[in-house]
Structure 1
Amino acid sequence: MDFTGFPVAALDFYDDLEVDNSKSFWEAHRHVYEESVKAPMVALCASLEQEFGAAKVFRPYRDVRFRKDKTPYKTHQGAFVPVGPRRGWYVELSPRGVRVGGGFYASTPAELAAVRAAMADDRSGPSLRRILTKLEKAGFEIGGDTLRTAPRGYDQDHPRIELLRHKTLAVGRSYGFEPVIHTPAVRTLVREDWRTLRPLVRWLDTAMAAAEEPTG
């Protein structure tokens, strides 16, 4: 299947799913999800695979085993292209339109320690700050889960404390409901954004990979 954009029916589907997140609605509209949401997302990722790698297109079902919210279905469709465990590029379709991003969404304790060590280092830390500053100037938003205070082992007055507080780091931008998301041209936007995010993804991959290297 060639990628031709995300149809309006995909956004309508998620608008309705937010109102009626039930098995009966899902079963009655499964064909809309398969044809208007999943198929275009798979086609988009396949068209970018040669440059960035194979994507994981996430399942639509929520894991509700340990959650108070028992609604069974996700109200967005995401896809993730990993360069390593828990880090890489991301694209998402939701009732709020299309969003593109990159970063790391989770880590082992060793990986997080390695990321923070790289942030604190006087060579690699300033490099990350420059990357993020450039991305912000290009219109990206810097996000992720953060601590309220300094992480253990680091001073509150560290020159890069705002980076060290991060438990995850996600950088992205939204195209919302812009008409382009319904056309093949949105693929170009995703491709260019992922290319722009490549220095960040590489920095994180280098930092986190240090925690995965065998010792001894």
Structure 2
Amino acid sequence: MSMRVVLVDDQEMIRMGFKMVLNSRPEIDVVAEAGDGDEVLDVLAQHEADVVLMDVRMPRLNGIEATRLIARLPDPPKVLILTTFDLDDYAYEALRAGASGFLLKDAPLEELAAAIGHVHDGDAVVAPSTTKRLLERFTRPEPRDQEAAALVHEPVRDERIFEELTPREHEVLRQVARGLSNAEIASELVLSEGTVKVHVGRVLMKLGLRDRVQAVVLAYETGLVAPGGR
């Protein structure tokens, strides 16, 4: 079965371009479009979707708030944020809102198609090094400006949620939050890559998280790790 995709962008020409290139892939089917975040819930009520490609900056309802609303749906589709800049001021908040990752709008078709596939399969599409760089810039005590501050209204979760983790799972989570891949964590902790994968899976299950991006965000939010630290 093909992956059902919904495009959300306020610029019609951009939606047309994405639709044309994505429908050229046999594994992808663009089933619907929305002109802004305010329309996307109505669209999703009418069309079953696996992945939503979401622009960040849109009129009426921005991509962050739209992502937050989608995440509250029963059995919601995955959300892949599309940004104009590699370190878009809103990308971090989009991840907090429930997005599975982000990608540049000018990414090559192969990269975009692969990202949709990864998100569809439940993985994060943000590379570990990019995740670390993004979080080190945006995980700060205060938002960068008033507009960003208006988007930050979810409380930081209590670090006691980590009490169910074993010492080894704590350590694996710290390494994930540093932006390390499973192979790098295996080398760092002298474990097999398969064992690391099992530990990461248990961490996600115990913390009720969807993917490693959410795990990284949670680790920074609760102070388990600090930007730039170990």
TM-score with structure 2 length normalisation?
Answer: 0.28
Whichever structure has more strand as a proportion of its residues is 1
TM-score normalised by structure 1 residue count: 0.29
Rg larger in structure: 1
The higher-RCO structure (CA 8 Å, 6+ apart) is: 1
